[in-house]
Amino acid sequence: MSTAVNLLIFGLADGAILALAALGFVLIYKATAVINFAQGEFLLVGAYTFYTCFVIFQLPITVGILVGVVVAVLLGIVVERLILRPMIGQSHISIIMVTIGLSGLLNAIVQMFFGTGVRAQPAVLPSPPVSILGATIPGNRLLAILIAAIVLTVLTIFFQKSKHGIAMRSVADDEQAAMTVGISVRRVYAMSWALAAVSALIAGILLADITAVDLHIASFGLMVFPVVILGGLDSVPGTIIGGLTIGIVTQLVSGYLDPGLAEVIPYIILVLILLIRPYGIFGEKRIERV
Amino acid sequence: MSPQAAPAAEPASPAAGSPLLVLNNIEVIYDEVILVLRGLSLSVPEGKIVALLGSNGAGKSTTLKAVSGLLPSERGEISSGSVTFEGRDVTRMDAPDRVKNGMSLCMEGRHVFPHLTVADNLIAGAYTRRDKAEQIELVYEFFPKLADMRNRTAGYLSGGEQQMLAIGRALMAKPRLLMLDEPSLGLAPLLVTEIFGQIARLNAEIGLTVLVIEQNARRALEVAHHGYIMEQGRIVLEGSSTELQENPDVKEFYLGVGGEGGRKSYREVKHYKRRKRWL
C-alpha cells in the first residue's frame, strides 16, 4: 500500500510538471499551428537561467524566478520574431525542421556555457518528510504538485476567460476573421511563445529541484509528445489529464514492473493512442459545416 | 445616373450626407501581377446604406478587403489611389487599427470562430474596446436569438444563426461603418429577409453606415439608399436605389426581370455588356 501511495505521489509530481511543459507546447500549437520540438530546451534554458541566478550569482530565489521570467519572455519573443515569423507561409515540415534545429541550437548553447556534467543546486523547495497513508513522501514533491496545479489553473483561466486568452483562441480558429475584429495576429503569436516559455521555465525549475540540474531536463521535455497526443494536441484540460496519466503510469510501471520499461511506456501509449484515437482523448475534431 | 466608361478622377458623391468613406481611383494588385481593381472610385455617405453589386469576379470582395486592410494577408496591395475614412487617409493603415477607428468587416462565408461559444465570439469582437457590456446588450437586442444560445459552440449553429453572430461580432467593435460581404450567401429566403430587415433597423435606429456587397441585387437594393454596379474591377453604373431598380440594364442583368424575349443566354449577356463598354 505504502509503495503504491509513494509511486502515485511521485507520478503526480512528474505528471504535473509534464503537464506544465506540455501546456506551453499546446499554447503554441493552438495559436500558431506550429509544432515546437524545442519545448524541452525551453525547460532546459529556464532551469539553467534560474541556476545561474540562484547558485552562480547567489541571488535570492524570487529574483532568480523574476530574471527567469524575463529571459523566458524574451526567448519566446525572439524565437517568434526572428525564427518563426519569416517562416510564415512555409510548409509544416519546414517549420518543424526549424524547431528541431532550434532545439539543437539551444541545447548546444547551454552545453557551451555549463558543460555536460550535473550541477549541484541547493534545494529550493523545503523537503520535510510527510507521511500519507503509511507512506513517507518528500515534501518537495507535494509542493511541486501544488505549484504546478496553481500555475495550470491560472493559465487555464487566462486562456478561457481573459480577453487575451479569447483572442488567442480566436486566432487559432480563424486568423483572417481575427484580423477583422481588430486582433493583432503578430502580437498573439508573440504572446503564445512567451507564455509557453514561461510555463516551461516553471516546469524546468521544479524539475531541476526534484531531480538535478543537467541535460536530462531537455529529454524530459520530449515526453510532452506522449502527453499531448494522449490529451489532444489542442486541448488544455486534455493536456493536464494527459500529463498526470503519463506521470503516474510511468512511475507505476517503474515501481512494479521494470524501470527500463518505464522509459518506453509513454511512447507505447503514444503509438496506441495514435492507432485508436488520433485526435486524443479531449482533442477537437474539426467542426465542418458546409 | 452616370455610366462611367473610364474611371472617374473625382469620386462621385451621392446626394445626401457627408462621405464617411471615400475610395479614390484605387488599383489593387495581387502577387504583384494580377490587377483586380482598375481605378475604382466610390463613396459611402454617413448614415446611409450603400450596395455594391456585380457579377462573380468583378472585384467586390477585393474592394472590401482593400477598405478593411486585409489585402496584405492575401498577398495583395493597393498599388495606387487612396482610401479615406472620415477625411483621414487610411490607405496604408493595418487591419487592427482600422477596426479601432470604426471600420468593421463581416466576411463572406460568415467566418465565426467555430470552437468558441457565441458569447466568446462576441467578446472577441470587442477586442479593441473596453465597454463591451453595453455593446453586448445592443447585439442581444437586435439579435435576441443569440442571447438564448450564448453558451453554444458557434461551429454548430445553423447558417442563419452564424450570419447573425458574424454581424453581431462585427457590431461589438462599435463600428461607424459596417461592411458586409454577401450576408445572404447560402441562406433560406426567409432568413435573408430577416437579416436585411435587421440591417435596415441598425441603420435607422443607431444610424449605422453600411456598405453591403450582394449577389442578390433585388434584396440589396430594397434596403440600400444608393447603389454601385461593378464589372471587371471598375464601377460601371451608380445611382440611388430607386434609379437603379428602374434602370433597364440593371433590370435585365441584375434583377432578372428583363423586357422582351425572357432571359438572355450567357453569350448574349457578354456581347451586350461588351457593347456597353462594361467589359
Cβ pair A182:B116 closer than 8 A:
no
Q: Band of the pLDDT at B262, cuts 50, 70, 90? A: low
- Nearest residue in chain A measured CA to CA from B175: A181
User: Would you give the distance in Å from CA B17 to the centre of its chain?
Assistant: 19
Nearest to A187 by CA among B96, B114, B119: B96
The fold adopted by the segment(s) B19-247 is: Rossmann fold (3.40.50)
| Cα(A230)–Cα(A166) distance, integer angstroms | 24
- Residue B7: pLDDT band (50, 70, 90) is very low
CB–CB of B104 and A177 under 8 A? no
The pLDDT-based confidence of A173 (bands split at 50, 70, 90) is: confident
Considering just the CA atoms, what is the radius of gyration of chain B in Å? 19
Residue B52 buriedness (CB in 10 A; 0-12 / 13-18 / 19+): buried
Strands (E), chain A: 129-132, 135-138
CB-nearest partner of B127 from A173, A175, A182: A182
A166 and B173: CB-CB below 8 Å? no
- Which chain B residues are within 8 Å of A285, Cβ to Cβ? none
| pLDDT attached to residue B264 | 64
Residue B17 pLDDT grade (very low, low, confident, very high; cuts 50, 70, 90): low
- Strand-pairing partners, residue B23, are B42, B83
Q: Is the pLDDT of residue B261 over 70?
A: no
Average per-residue pLDDT in chain A?
88
Residue A263 lies in a domain: no
Q: How far is CA A145 from the centre of its chain?
A: 14
Measured between CB atoms, which of B70, B123, B155 is closest to A287?
B155
Residue B186 has pLDDT above 90, yes or no: no
Residue extents of the structural domains in chain B: 19-247
User: What's the grid cell of residue B57?
Assistant: 469576379
Q: Which residues in chain A touch residue B153, judged by CB atoms under 8 angstroms apart?
A: 287
* Residue in A193, A201, A54, A196 with CA at minimum distance from that of residue A120: A54
Inter-chain contact B153–A170, Cβ cutoff 8 Å?
no
Domain that holds residue A10: 2-224
Could you identify the residue written with the cell 500529463?
A243
Give contacts of B94 with chain A, Cβ < 8 Å.
Answer: 184
pLDDT over 50 (residue A288): yes
- To 5 degrees, how large is the angle CA A8–CA A11–CA A12? 85
Q: What is the pLDDT of residues B99-125, one digit of tens each?
A: 999 999 999 988 999 989 999 999 999
Q: For residues B273 and A44, which has the higher predicted lDDT (pLDDT)?
A: A44
The reply to whether A256 falls in a domain is no
- Mark yes or no for CB contact A176/B73 under 8 Å: yes
Residues in chain A closer than 8 A to B155 (CB atoms)? 287, 289
Q: Verify whether the Cβ–Cβ distance B99 to A181 is below 8 Å.
A: yes
How many beta-carbon pairs below 8 A join chains A and B?
84
CB B159 within 8 A of CB B186: yes
What is the share, in percent, of chain B residues with pLDDT greater than 70? 89
Residue A57: pLDDT band (50, 70, 90) is very high
**Residue, of B3 and A93, whose pLDDT is higher:** A93
Binary contact (A177, B95; C-beta < 8 A) = no
d(CA A69, CA A81): 18
Kindly report, residue by residue over A103-156, the tens digit of the pLDDT: 999 999 999 998 888 888 888 888 788 888 778 888 888 888 999 899 989 988
Contact residues on chain B for A289, CB-CB shorter than 8 A: 155-156, 159
Is A267 domain-assigned? Answer: no
pLDDT at A93 over 90: no
Name the domain count of chain A: 1
Phi, psi (degrees; rounded to nearest 5) at A32: -120, 0
3-class DSSP state for residue B236?
A: strand
| Pairing mode, strands B34-45 and B19-30 | antiparallel
Q: Which residues of B touch A179 (CB under 8 A)?
A: 69-70, 73, 95-96
* N- to C-terminal Cα separation, chain B: 19
pLDDT beyond 70 at B9: no
Of B70, B99, B104, the CB nearest to A176: B70
Angstrom distance (rounded) from CA B253 to CA B270: 10
Residue A184: inside a domain: yes
Check A180 against B114: CB less than 8 A apart. no
Q: Which comes out higher in pLDDT, residue A234 or A98?
A: A98
CA distances from residue B264 to A230, B125, B244 in whole angstroms, order as listed? 60, 44, 20
Cβ contact (<8 Å) for B105 and A180?
Answer: yes
Cα separation of B32 and A8, whole Å? 61
Q: Is residue A106 part of a domain?
A: yes
Give yes or no for residue B238 having a pLDDT over 70.
Answer: yes
User: Between residues 180 and 239 of chain B, which touch chain A (CB distance below 8 Å)?
Assistant: none
- Can you give the pLDDT at residue B202? 94
The residue with greater pLDDT, B68 or B57, is B68
Nearest to B192 by CA among B157, B213, B220, B155: B220
Has residue A112 been placed in a domain? yes
Q: Are B114 and A174 within 8 A, CB to CB? A: yes
Answer yes or no: is pLDDT of B232 > 90: no
- Provide the 8-state DSSP code for A82: I
* Residue A168 cell numbers, joined: 488567442
Residue carrying the nine cell digits 477598405: B67
C-alpha cell at B16: 445626401
Cβ <8 Å between B73 and A166: no
Of A166, A177, A182, the CB nearest to B123: A166
Mutate to test the interface with B, among A161, A163, A180 (most CBs of B within 10 A): A180
Establish if A251 belongs to a structural domain.
no
Distance CA A228, CA A39 (A): 12
The minimal CB distance from A170 to the residues B94, B99, B113 is found for B113
Instruction: Residue A172: list chain B partners with CB under 8 A.
Output: 115
Over the range A244-280, which residues count as b (16 or more CB within 10 Å of their CB) and which as e?
A: bbbbbbbbbbbbeeeeeebeebbeebbeebeeeeebb
Q: Which residues does chain A have within 8 Å of residue B101's beta carbon, measured at their own beta carbons?
A: none
Cβ separation of A287 and B73 shorter than 8 Å?
A: no
The residues near A262 (Cβ < 8 Å, ≥ 6 apart) are: A250, A251, A253, A254
Average pLDDT over residues B48-72: 90
Question: One-letter amino acid identity for B55?
Answer: S
- CB contact at 8 A, A247 and A12: yes
| Inter-chain residue contact A180 with B113, CB threshold 8 Å | no
Tell me, what's the pLDDT at B8?
A: 41
User: Is ipTM over 0.85?
Assistant: no
pLDDT computed for residue B15 by the predictor:
46
Instruction: Please tell me the distance from the alpha carbon of residue A281 to that of residue A229, in angstroms, as a whole number.
Output: 8
Residue A232 domain-assigned (yes or no): no
Alpha-carbon distances, residue A2 vs A135, A138, A181, A265, B200 (angstroms)? 4, 13, 56, 23, 72
What's the confidence (pLDDT) of residue B263? 60
Kindly determine whether residue A177 and residue B111, on different chains, have CB atoms separated by under 8 Å: yes
Beta pairing, strands B209-214 & B177-181: parallel
